[in-house]
Amino acid sequence: RKEVEQDPGPFNVPEGATVAFNCTYSNSASQSFFWYRQDCRKEPKLLMSVYSSGNEDGRFTAQLNRASQYISLLIRDSKLSDSATYLCVLNTGTASKLTFGTGTRLQVTL
Amino acid sequence: ETGVTQTPRHLVMGMTNKKSLKCEQHLGHNAMYWYKQSAKKPLELMFVYNFKEQTENNSVPSRFSPECPNSSHLFLHLHTLQPEDSALYLCASSQDIGTGSGYTFGSGTRLTVV
């Protein structure tokens, strides 16, 4: 099983739609979780951290389910500018590195 | 504007060339990283430096040689590369390692080996 698994997509949604991505991870010792956004041919940028209690930032909501070992990202009222690849990222505590998923591509259309 | 600057943005080199990638961070971070991103693959960690000391080498071939003269600068020296080494090379920094803080990435160097 891969350390981090994501559906590569693409998810094609109309503007204004709500879309959700899941990401599963295999290491139960993982302690820190993030969603990064990567635009085409650009570097990844931190979108939001994911906390056990769940967190919301505007139209974006992230959830963590430790029992089932997955995190999710919900985007409400999708905008054209949300089109990007969303990377699931986690850190396994004392490990000095972040592990990245392959990403889920989102395409928002008119 | 990113606090992590990478040069050059693009690089084409022959298999017998020697070149270097440069990364500089202006964020006062203590940790710096090199990642490789190939098409349809997740980012692969190459090297980790903490307070300019290498703490991790992720089984990277010796044709890639990192150098970290101080906490703000990181280099990746390239020598005798193969076409399969063509990829986007990303530098990142974080305040500390192992604390779960997010990384700030540079814009990357898109390398093509011919």
Residue B10, helix vs strand vs coil: strand
Residue with the two structure tokens 């307070």? B51
Cross-chain Cβ contact A44/B33 below 8 Å: no
Q: What is the pLDDT of residue B70?
A: 94
Task: Report the residue of chain B nearest A103, measured CA to CA.
Answer: B42
CB pairs under 8 A between A and B: 54
Residue B39, helix vs strand vs coil: coil
Nearest to A32 among B100, B104, B107 (CB): B100
**B57-85 residue pLDDT tens:** 989 999 999 999 999 999 999 999 999 99
Task: Give the span between the Cα atoms of B27 and B46, in whole angstroms.
Answer: 21
**B3-43 residue pLDDT tens:** 999 999 999 999 999 999 999 999 999 999 999 999 888 89
Comparing CA positions, the residue from B95, B99, B77 lying closest to residue B3 is B95
**A34-70 residue pLDDT tens:** 999 999 989 999 999 998 888 999 999 999 999 999 9
Cross-chain Cβ contact A45/B50 below 8 Å: no
Task: Give the span between the Cα atoms of A55 and A60, in whole angstroms.
Answer: 8
